[in-house]
Structure 1
Amino acid sequence: MSRTAEEIGRTEVGPRPLPPLGEQRAATNLSVVDTVLDNGLRVIAVHQPTVPMVEVRLRVPFAGAEPAHAATAEVLAAAILTGTESRDRVAVDTELALVGGELSAAVDPELLSLGGNALASGFDTLLAVLADALTGATYADDEVAGEKARLIERISVARSRPNVIARQALQRHRYGDHPFTRELPEAADVAKVEPADVRALHQAAVLPRGSVLVLVGDVEPERAVAGAAAALGGWQSDAAASVLPALPPITPGDLLVVDRPGAVQSQIRLSAQSITRTDPRYPALQLANLTFGGFFSSRLVENIREDKGYTYHARSYPEFTPDGATLLIDTDTASDVTAAALLEIRYELGRFALVAPDEAEVEIVRQYAIGSLLTSTSSQGGLASQIAALAVLGLGVEWLIGHPDRLKAVTAAEVAEAAQEFFAPTRFTGIIVGDVEKLAPLARIGGVRFP
């Protein structure tokens, strides 16, 4: 006779106990080469032969102080793979397709990023196409015009989205007119970009010295580095890639209300200064953040989503900036409960600093943190992306390998200290985007500045 899942999971005296979690083990036997080529390009090659593929991630520091830089950079990223002196767009796509490969490009105020993958047997082809784009991209007039049109449409749509409006407002509130805030150019500025502007920016700023190339997959590291050196030997410059100037520290203070007439929801964004991954306190802060709002069963989510029903989504998370780090808290909520939601966020921040998480709470987030890290790095693509993110911060594979042990060593007392130091309500500032006419109750709880 068959039994239901509920019957199988129970005994006469109650539910069957869950088996204990097994030990989560990091990959400590990775074969790695981390070196700098003659042209100044740092190459990190990792042998991970789980599938016969290879992943590539290139990060080029790509800062620019000129107001037009962001628009030109977006067009460059959109068009860099549309053709070279030896390959047109069709040839680029065809060569990659024949080796099961793909490449894409993106840009932000800090980095130009190129990435993709291919069958391991097509490794040389993948590098050849990448190298050709880096050294010979032509930015044909018709290709630039087409990419500009698509960008203008995408940017126009994006700038109307509440989360984009909130992000831009938060960046301006935190950093003023620093180049780091120029994450999305104006559509009108993109329309002014000419092919000659893009070619000039490529010549001046797409440089190997200071950049990082990460190669992960079914290729021996020595062979991968040799292939990169051969393919990219013609990518040369005496200049170094351009990095962003230091960001000003975040000043705690009132939240700024940003008017969005007619909005039925409000976007709440809080931020405070934090610490980098190399700080000895970082593992404890990582677990403290998870406890507060970093995963679905966190204190913040349990309060304003599960208990109060003010929002569908709430979270806290770190953001690693060019020379530091910040903590962010964000949620979206209906206009009529915005003040109540903010009050509960402040309450949870204060409670977190006063009521320390117990051993059981810390152990749950510890297992989550270690498990999430190991899961995210179990694939070639995930490992390549993690290494690339660390490399631009000056870290290597050894940091990634050693982090699970650092998390295991954190005590509940250290998590409590991190909560008290970094989550005190007085350390935060931020913005609230919404219809000012519907947000009058915010004035009654204070700490809010209206336009």
Structure 2
Amino acid sequence: MSRTAEEIGRTELGPRPLPPLGEQRVASDLSTVDTVLSNGLRVIAVHQPAVPMVELRLKIPFAGTDPMHAARAEVLAATLLTGTDRRDRIAVDTELALVGSDLDATVDPERLSISGNALASGFDTVLDVLADALTGAAHRAEEVNRERDRLVERITVARSQPGTIAREALQRHRYGDHPFTREMPQASDVATVTADEVRALHRASVLPRGSVLVVVGDIDLDRALAQIESAMAGWSAEASAVELPALPEVVGGDLLLVPRPGAVQSQLRMSAQAIPRTDPRYPALQLANLAFGGFFSSRLVENIREAKGYTYHARSSLEFTPSGATLLLDTDTASAVTAGALLEIRYELGRLGLAPPNESEVDTVRQYAIGSLLIATSSQTGLASQLAALAPLGLGVDWLTEHPARLAAVTTEEIAEAALEFFAPARFTGVIVGDADQLSALRGLGGVLMP
């Protein structure tokens, strides 16, 4: 006779107790190489033979101060892998497909990124196609025109979305006209980009010196390094890739109301200056953030989602920037409860410092942080992505494998200090995007610049 899950989970004395969590083991025996090639390209290679695959991440600093840089960079990324002097688009796609590979190029205000994977047996082919694109991408006029038109359509749609409006408003509020704020170009700028402009940008800015290539997978490290050196030999330049200028620090102050007439929801985005991963206080801040709003059982979620029903989604996170990091709080609420949600957010910010996480909360967020990191780095894909994010800071595998121990060593007192220092309500600023006519209750709260 079969039993239900509820029957299996119970005994005569009540619910069957859960077994204790086992020890979370860190992968500390990874074979790695971290070196700089003769052309200035940093290579981080990791032998992880879980499956016969290879993950690849290339990060090229790609900043620019020209107002048209973002538009040209988007078209460049869209056409980087659409053909070279040696291969047309079909040849590129076919050669990659034959080795089970896929490459994709994206760009943001900081970097041009190329990512993908392949069967380990096809690593040579992927490197050859990648090197060919880096040194000989044709950016043919017909490809530029086709991808440019697609970008214009996508950007036009994206710019109508409230999340995009809120993000752009927050960036301008925090950083003014800094190039970091140009995360999405204007569709009208993209529409004017020419193939000649894209080729000129490629020649001037797709450079190896200062860039980082991360390779993780079923590879022999010495052979992989030799393959990379050979493939990238033709990619060289005296100049270095262009890094983004340092950002100004985020200064606490009033929130800015950005009118969006007719909106039935409001987007709340709040931010404060934080510290980078290299700061000794970072592990304590990471756990304090988790307790505040960094996962589903956090204080913020329990309050404005579970208890008050003001929102379906709320979170806080650490957003890493070229020169440091910021804390970011975001949630969307119905217009009628926007003021109430803001009141509760301010309350939870203050409470975190005055009533910091207790031993039980700390144990929960510690287990969550360590477990999440170990899960994220247990696969080739996750490990490659983590290392690619750390590499611009000069960090590598050692920092990643040692971080669980740092999290384990953080005390409740250190978390309390981080909570009091970094989550003080006065340190935050931000924006609220919504219908001003429906948000008059914000005037009673103060600290919001109304139109």
Q: TM-score range by the shorter chain?
A: over 0.9
Aligned with 1:74: secondary structure? Answer: helix
Give identity over the alignment, percent: 73
For 1:312 and 1:126, how far apart are their aligned partners in 2?
A: 43
What stretches of structure 1 of length at least 5 have no aligned partner?
Answer: none
Aligned with 2:148: secondary structure? Answer: helix
Q: Following TM superposition, by how much is the alpha carbon of 1:175 offset from its aligned partner in structure 2, in angstroms? A: 0.1
Q: Match for residue 388 of structure 1?
A: 388
Q: Match for residue 421 of structure 1?
A: 421
Aligned with 1:192: secondary structure? Answer: coil
For 2:2 and 2:241, how far apart are their aligned partners in 1?
A: 66
User: After superposition, what is the alpha-carbon deviation per residue over 1:287-312, rounded to whole angstroms, capped at 9, x for unaligned?
Assistant: 00000000000000000000000000
Amino acid at match of 1:200: A
What is the total number of aligned residue pairs between the two structures? 451
Do 1:284 and 1:415's aligned partners in 2 also have CA atoms closer than 8 Å? yes
Q: Following TM superposition, by how much is the alpha carbon of 1:210 offset from its aligned partner in structure 2, in angstroms? A: 0.1
Q: Following TM superposition, by how much is the alpha carbon of 1:160 offset from its aligned partner in structure 2, in angstroms? A: 0.5
For 2:308 and 2:216, how far apart are their aligned partners in 1?
A: 45
User: After superposition, what is the alpha-carbon deviation per residue over 1:159-193, rounded to whole angstroms, capped at 9, x for unaligned?
Assistant: 00111000000000000000000000000000110
For 2:80 and 2:4, how far apart are their aligned partners in 1?
A: 57
Q: Match for residue 412 of structure 2?
A: 412
Q: Runs of 4 or more off by more than 3 Å in structure 1?
A: none
CA RMSD of aligned residues (A): 0.6
For 1:252 and 1:109, how far apart are their aligned partners in 2?
A: 24
Question: Which residues in structure 2 correspond to 1:432-451 (within 5 Å)?
Answer: 432-451=432-451
Q: Match for residue 63 of structure 1?
A: 63
Q: Match for residue 256 of structure 1?
A: 256
What stretches of structure 2 of length at least 5 have no aligned partner?
Answer: none
For 2:324 and 2:287, how far apart are their aligned partners in 1?
A: 19
Aligned with 2:319: secondary structure? Answer: strand
Q: Following TM superposition, by how much is the alpha carbon of 1:412 offset from its aligned partner in structure 2, in angstroms? A: 1.0
For 2:411 and 2:221, how far apart are their aligned partners in 1?
A: 37
Q: Following TM superposition, by how much is the alpha carbon of 1:108 offset from its aligned partner in structure 2, in angstroms? A: 0.1
Residue 32 of structure 2 corresponds to residue 32 of structure 1: yes
Do 1:292 and 1:316's aligned partners in 2 also have CA atoms closer than 8 Å? yes
Q: Following TM superposition, by how much is the alpha carbon of 1:16 offset from its aligned partner in structure 2, in angstroms? A: 1.3
Question: Which residues in structure 2 correspond to 1:47-58 (within 5 Å)?
Answer: 47-58=47-58
Q: Following TM superposition, by how much is the alpha carbon of 1:393 offset from its aligned partner in structure 2, in angstroms? A: 1.7
For 1:223 and 1:345, how far apart are their aligned partners in 2?
A: 54
Aligned with 1:121: secondary structure? Answer: helix
Q: Following TM superposition, by how much is the alpha carbon of 1:215 offset from its aligned partner in structure 2, in angstroms? A: 0.4
Amino acid at match of 2:355: V
Q: Following TM superposition, by how much is the alpha carbon of 1:63 offset from its aligned partner in structure 2, in angstroms? A: 0.2
User: After superposition, what is the alpha-carbon deviation per residue over 1:127-157, rounded to whole angstroms, capped at 9, x for unaligned?
Assistant: 0000000000010000000000100000000
User: After superposition, what is the alpha-carbon deviation per residue over 1:384-420, rounded to whole angstroms, capped at 9, x for unaligned?
Assistant: 0100000012111100000000000011111111100
Question: Which residues in structure 2 correspond to 1:176-325 (within 5 Å)?
Answer: 176-325=176-325
Q: Match for residue 111 of structure 2?
A: 111
User: After superposition, what is the alpha-carbon deviation per residue over 1:210-261, rounded to whole angstroms, capped at 9, x for unaligned?
Assistant: 0000000000222111111000000010000000111011111000000001
Q: Following TM superposition, by how much is the alpha carbon of 1:379 offset from its aligned partner in structure 2, in angstroms? A: 0.9
Q: Match for residue 91 of structure 2?
A: 91
Do 1:46 and 1:220's aligned partners in 2 also have CA atoms closer than 8 Å? no
Do 1:255 and 1:429's aligned partners in 2 also have CA atoms closer than 8 Å? yes
Aligned with 1:125: secondary structure? Answer: helix
Aligned with 2:277: secondary structure? Answer: coil
Q: Match for residue 361 of structure 1?
A: 361
Aligned with 2:393: secondary structure? Answer: coil
User: After superposition, what is the alpha-carbon deviation per residue over 1:305-353, rounded to whole angstroms, capped at 9, x for unaligned?
Assistant: 0000000000000011001110000000000100000000000001111
Amino acid at match of 1:182: R
For 1:294 and 1:161, how far apart are their aligned partners in 2?
A: 24
**TM-score, structure 1 normalization:** 0.99
Aligned with 2:25: secondary structure? Answer: coil
Q: Following TM superposition, by how much is the alpha carbon of 1:2 offset from its aligned partner in structure 2, in angstroms? A: 2.3
**TM-score, structure 2 normalization:** 0.99
